Amino acid sequence: MKKHLIVTCCVLLLVSFLISCGANEKKNFITDTDAGYEIEESDGKFYLVITDDAYKSTINESQTEPYLSFSSVSEMKDKILSGKLTENEIAKMSTFSKNSDKKIEVMDFKKVYEPIFPSDIIWDGSVKWYGKYYHPSFVKSDKFMYMTFSVQTSDIYQDSLQRSKDSIHNNDLVTITDTVQTEERNATVYHYTTSSGEFKSIEYVIETENGKIFVMEDYRLTTNNKDLPTSDTIPSSIDLYGDFGDRYFDCFITGLTERPSLAWLSCFGLDEIK
């Protein structure tokens, strides 16, 4: 009886050890083992590991944040995961920003998403990849002069959203003079002043089929700079923050010719690349 109990305990310990080893095992998502780099998953996060010594000491001599360009999101995913990057691309990739542990954290490569835009926005499909996030290289529309759209990891998304909120609601240079709740778009309207002039922020959430989009419409009511336009009806800029549970984006639009409709704003989203 005692012998049977000892054997059972040993088996349980062995199984527990094997499960623990499996949980800590790091999987390399790169199919080419001689690619010069690996992408590993650890504790739900993904890291770029440079395995070729020739690139480990590469220094970013540019003043701008390094990125890689691709003709499409599909090409980005396929080229990176197949290990088909050029020597120059690997050298540039090795200079991506590192975290406090000197690791290069990158996006989740198990699920890669393509931006979805309203039909009147023109995009050729090309993207720039910065490691933890990527965005379309160029978009244009008759509705605005300039737009950025970034597909992000959860931590970058949360940080971007919080900084945007803090710029008005937790800023010693901003004085909120009035707050109004409106039925239109179920929004909260904040009137505030800074040393630059008077402003208005309209904030609300759009519920979509797959998630939600937090919207901040900013209006420049008066300004000390006479070269800047003012309007109470057309936003000077709009920030969109899309939260779809396991995928996130932020979008900044300025130079608008009109206030976008809810239907138009609701068209922004992300679609998984299979």
Identify the domain boundary among 91, 106, 121.
Answer: 106
Judgement on whether residues 129 and 245 belong to the same structural domain of the protein: yes
Q: Which long-range contacts (CB under 8 A, 24 or more apart) does 25-34 make?
A: 29/81, 29/109, 29/110, 30/80, 30/81, 30/82, 30/83, 31/81, 31/82, 31/83, 32/82, 32/83, 32/84, 33/83, 34/83
Q: Which residues pair with 149 in a beta bridge?
A: 251
Predicted confidence at residue 58, as pLDDT, reads: 65
- Say yes or no: 69 and 136 in one domain: no
Number of structural domains found in the chain: 2
Widest CA span in the chain = 92
Is 141:121 a contact under the CB 8 Å cutoff?
yes
Same domain, 65 and 132: no
pTM here? Answer: 0.85
- Per-residue pLDDT, 16: 45
- Per-residue pLDDT of 132-145, as tens digits, reads 999 999 899 999 99
Give the bridge partners for 212, in sequence order: 207, 243
Cα-based angle 128, 272, 39 (whole degrees, multiple of 5): 60
Domain annotation covers residue 11: no
Strand (E) or helix (H) holding 271 = strand 269-273
The SS3 assignment for 177 reads: strand
The C-alpha angle with vertex 118 and arms to 117 and 123, in degrees rounded to 5, equals 50
pLDDT at 189 over 90: yes
pLDDT for the residue numbered 29? 77
Domain assignment of residue 229, given as a range: 113-273
